[in-house]
A and B are shown apart, each in its own frame.
Chain A
C-alpha cells in the first residue's frame, strides 16, 4: 500500500509536465459526440443569455429616459412588463442550461467510465503488473469526473463569453461610439492582466497539487509503517521530513492565495475604472449635446446609466474564460492519463482465426446444427493433451525468462514445477493459462495452437489457486459461487466439502453468509485458501493451476489444505508450483526449472535415482535439516 502510493506520486509527477495540448482534447472530444444535441442547445442558451444580459440595462435606460420625460403609468407598466418578461426568460434559460449541463456531464462521465472499465477487463496482466490498483482506480473515478464535469460549462461559457463581449460592445457603439471607445479601451488591459495572473496562478496551483499528492503519500506511509517507525524510534526524523514537506505545501499554497488576493481586486478595479471613464466622458458628451450639430453624439441620462452598468459588467466574461482555461489546463494531466489508459492495447486477445471460428460456430448454433453448450469456437470440448513446443518468453526484449522449453501433458496428469526463485516457474504456468502468450514456439491443445482456439473458452476451463488467494469483499457463499455463477446451494456446499472448507465455514458465526472483509481479511490465510479451493472446485475446470503457499499457514492447517488439494487435482491436468514435499512426491511429472529451462524431468523416484539437480535440491532442503 505504501509502496503503491509512492509509485502513484511518481506517476503523477510524470504527467504534470507538458503544455496545453489541443490535439489531446480533440481526441477526447470524440467521446462527447453522442451528446451533440444537448451541447448545441447549451451553446444556444449561451447566446440567448448574452442577449438578455445586454437587453436588461437597455430597457432600464429607456425607462429612465421616458420617466425623465414625465412618462405616464402605461409607459412605465409596459417597460416593467418587458423587464419582467426578460427576467422570466433569463431564469428559464438558467433552468434549461443547468439541466442540459447535467445531462451532458453525467452522460459523458458514465460513458467514459464504462468504456474504461470494459477496456480494463480486456487488458493483459502486464498492464496491471506495472500499475498499482489505486492508480487505475483514480483514472476511472476522479480523472473522469474532472474531465466530464467541465465539458458542458466549457461549451456554455465559450459561447456566452465572446457573445456577451460582442453584444455589449455593439450596444455601446450603437448608443455612442465616442463614449464606447473609452469604455472598451479597458478590455485589452483586462485581458493582459488576466493572462499575466492566470499563468502564474496556474503554475502555483500545479505545485500545490503536486505537493498535495506527496502529502497524501506521506500520511499513507506514516500509517502503513507505524509499527516499523515505532520499533525503529524514528518519530522525530519522520516528523522532520514531514515538516519539510508541509512547509513546501505552505509555501506554494500561500503563493497561490496571494496571487489570487491581488488578481481579484485588480479586476474589480478595472471595472471601476471603466465606470469612472464612462462618467467622465459621458458627462462631457452630455454637456455639449449639439455642439457640432451631429445628433447621434448626444447621450441621454438613461443611456449614461446603461453605459455605466455595461462598464461594470465588462470584466465578467473575461474572468470566466480565464477560469475555464485554468481548469482545462489542470484537467490536462487527467486527460492524458485517461487517454493513455484507453489507448493501451491488450496484448493477449482473441486472434482473427479464433474470432472467425467463433462466428462460424455461432451461425451453426443459430441454424440449430450444433448444441449451444459446445465450445464457442467449435473446437474440441475435452482437453486430452496440452503441449509446450519450444517455448521462449521474455517480458523485456533481450532478457529471456524461458528458453526453448518443451513439455507434453496428458489429461489426468499432475506436473510439479520446482526450482529456485526467479527460475521461471510462475511464468510457465502463466503461459499455460494464456495470461501471457509465448514469444517463440507454441502451446497446443490437442495439437491445435491455443491461439487458434478461443481465449474465453480456454480460460473458462481453468481453475486457478494462487499463493495469496484473493477473495472479494462479499459472503463466503458468493465467493465460492464465483466459480460457477449458476451453481445451486447444494453444489456450493458440495464444493466446499470436497475442498475441506465446509467444516470451518459452518463454525463461523454466520456460516456461509459470513462476509469475508476487504481482500478476505476477516479470514485467516489458510481459510482463504480453502475457500478459493472450493471456488476452483465449483468451476469444475479441466486444467488446474496452483501456486502453493510456502509457510504462511501453520503446519496443521497446511495438512488440511494438502489433502483437499489432492482431492481437487484428481483427474484433471494440473500445473503446480510446488513447495510441499507431499505434493511433489505424488506428482506424475516433476520438472526442475532453472534459468528458464527444464533441467530435469521425471518422477520423484527417477529423479532421486539420477542424483542430479533434483536430488541436490531435495536433500539440501529436507534431509540436511533432518540430519542436523
Chain B
C-alpha cells in the first residue's frame, strides 16, 4: 500500500496556476463553447426571470390588493412600470387574475430557460466526456510499453473513469453556475435598490461573510476528506490483501489475527468519517444561522418600515423572496470553488496521460513482406538511461523457416529480445535486420501483423473463445480454427465446455486454467499464419505430456514459419536448429544441441540437472524388461 501510494504520487501532477487552469479548462470546452455560452446565457435569463415573478406579485400587492400600506401610496419605479405594463391599477383591481397569470407565466418562462440551460450544458458535457473517454482509450493503447513500466493499472483506470466523471459533473452542473452568480449580482441588486435601499442593505449585509465562511470551510474540510479517503484506501487494501491471500490465511489458521488487523482499520475509517460529519454539522448549522439571520434582518427591518408606513407589504414580500433566492446559491459557491479544484486535479491527471507521446510511424517507415529471416548485430538495450544494460552486444542469425531457442536464467534478457523484435521497445545500439531490411524502416503495424507471440501469461479478451481465436485472422473458416486448436491441443478441452467455441472467456463458472489459456493463445497465434512465431515460455503451465504432443504437432508446421522459442525445459529446446544461451544480457553460447552438450557451460549444466536419474530410470526400466 505504501509503495503503491508513493508511486501514484510521483505521477500526480501539481495543480497548475489560475491562468493555466482557465486555459486548460477552456481548451477542453472546444467544439462545445457555443453551447456553453448559450447555456450560461439561458441561466442568466432564467435567474432574472425568477425575480420577475415576485416583482409582479409585489407590485400587484402594493398597487392593487393592499394599496396605501406605504405612505401616500408611493410606488417604486419598478413597480410603477410593472403595473402599467399589466394594464394599470384600475384594470387590475377588477382583474387580479391577469397579474397572477403574468406571475405564473414569468415562472414558466424561467422554467423554460432553466430547461434550456440544463439541456445545453448536459449536451456539451456529455459530448466532452465521450470525446475524453475515446481519446484516453485510444491513447492508452498507442502508448509505448515503456510508459507502462512504472504505472499502476488501478491508477490508470481510475483516471479514465472516476476522473472523467468528476470532470463531467463539473462541466454539466457547475461551470454554468458562474453565469448564475454574475446574473444574481448584476440584476437583483439594482432592482432591490430601486425599491428600497434600507431593505437592500438588510438583505445583503451578511453575504460577504456567508461567502467567505463557506469558501474557508470547504478549503479546510478538504484535508479532512483527504484523511478519510486515505483511511478508506488503507481499509480497501487490507480487505483486498486478506481475500487475495485467503488460502494462506486459512492454511495458517490466522482468521483472528486478520480480524484484529481489519478491525483496527475499520475503526480508524469510522473515526475519520465521523469527524467529517461533525465538521459538516458545524458548517451547515453555522451557515444556516448566518443565512437565517440575514432573513431575520429583512423581517425586522421590513416590519419597522411597514409600521412606519414607509414600505408596502408587497415590497416586503419581494425582499423576503429575494433573500431566499440568493443566499442558497451563494452558500453553494464555496462548494463550487472547491469542486473546481477537484475538477482541475482530475483534468490534470488525465492530461498527464494524454500528453505522453504515443508510438508514431516515421515518414520513411514502410510495409515489408516478411519471409522470416532475422539478424541481430551487436544489439544493446537499457530500460532506463544509466541503468545496467538489459542486453549488450547481442548477435545471432536465423534463416527463414528455422527454429531458434533462447535459454538462460530469469533476467538474462530473453523476453527483451522478443520485445525489441516487435518494436515494443527500440534498441539503443547495433542493428536488427529482417530479411536484410533495417527493423526501424518497417512500420510497427506491418511488423506486428506478421509476427505472432504467445506469452507465459497470455491475455485473452473477454469475448467468446471463437472470437479470441480468430482475432488474428478474422476471415478464418471453422476448419482452420479447429485445426489450429487441435495443433495447440486445446480443441478437446474447448469442446468439453457446454457452449464449446461459443463459451465466453470469464463467464460465470467457466474459468480457463493457466494451461488452457496458454494453449488458446497458441492456437490464436497459429491461426495468424505469421512469418515469425514467438513462444515466450508459453507452455510452462502445460503438463509435459501435452507439451510434447504440441511440440511434435508444431514440428510438422515449422517449415512454414520461423520460430523463436523461450523455455526452461531443455526437452522443449533441444530440437531447435540453433540455441542461443544468454546470461546477464550477453550471448554466452551459440550452437545446436550436439555442439552445446559437448561444451562446458550453462547448457550442459542444465542438461545434467534436468536429467538426473533419467539414465538410471531407463536402466531400471530395461532391467525389468529383461526380468
Contact = CB atoms under 8 A, between A and B. Distances in A.
B543 interface: yes
Nearest to A520: B245
Nearest to B144: A230
A471 B155 CA distance: 22
B141 A136 contact: no
B194 interface: no
A80 B104 contact: no
B90 interface: no
Contact of B277 (A102, A113, A257, A608): A102
A92 B103 CA distance: 36
Contacts of A114: 262-263, 266
A58 B271 CA distance: 42
Contact of A239 (B3, B138, B453): B138
B57 interface: yes
Contacts of A120: 242-243, 246
A441 to B, nearest CB: 23
Given A2-B462, A110-B266, A137-B243, A305 B569 contact: no
Identify which of A109, A238, A254, A555 gathers the most chain B CB atoms within 10 Å of its CB: A555
A212 B288 CA distance: 37
Interface in A4-61: 4-7, 10-11, 59-60
Interface in A310-343: 312
Interface in A44-91: 59-60, 63-64, 66-68, 70-72, 76, 79-80, 83-84, 87-88, 90-91
Interface string A566-593: 0000000000000001100100000000
A485 B257 contact: yes
A250 B168 CA distance: 11
B531 to A, nearest CB: 13
User: Size class of A's contact patch?
Assistant: 35 or more
A225 to B, nearest CB: 4
How many of chain B's residues touch chain A, expressed as a range?
35 or more
B126 A253 contact: yes
A478 B157 CA distance: 30
B507 interface: yes
B382 to A, nearest CB: 20
A608 B605 CA distance: 27
Contacts of B207: none
B615 interface: yes
A625 B624 contact: no
Contact of B97 (A109, A280, A585, A615): A280
Interface stretch (B19-27, B111-119, B342-350, B396-404): B111-119
A264 interface: yes
Given A473-B241, A554-B409, A559 B609 contact: yes
A185 interface: no
A623 B621 contact: yes
A493 to B, nearest CB: 19
Interface stretch (A159-167, A216-224, A365-373, A498-506): A216-224
Contacts of A68: 66, 69, 306-307, 313
A262 B609 CA distance: 77
Nearest to B54: A275
A280 B100 contact: yes
B65 A304 contact: yes
B140 A223 contact: yes
B103 A550 contact: no
B104 A67 contact: no
A305 B270 contact: no
Contacts of A66: 303, 307
Given A222-B141, A225-B461, A232-B472, A269 B107 contact: yes
B349 to A, nearest CB: 14
Given A84-B296, A254-B126, A6 B506 contact: yes
B247 A94 contact: no
Nearest to B515: A421
A305 B317 contact: yes
Contact of B122 (A232, A261, A624, A626): A261
A276 B153 contact: no
B445 interface: yes
Given A215-B161, A420-B543, 18 more contacts: A2-B462, A88-B289, A117-B239, A121-B242, A218-B137, A228-B459, A242-B137, A257-B118, A258-B119, A265-B111, A282-B65, A305-B61, A305-B316, A466-B247, A466-B248, A515-B2, A555-B609, A625-B574
9 contacts: A133-B240, A212-B161, A216-B157, A220-B153, A230-B141, A257-B118, A535-B252, A550-B540, A582-B613
8 nearest interchain CB pairs?
A102-B277, A272-B107, A261-B118, A257-B122, A6-B462, A265-B111, A98-B281, A280-B100
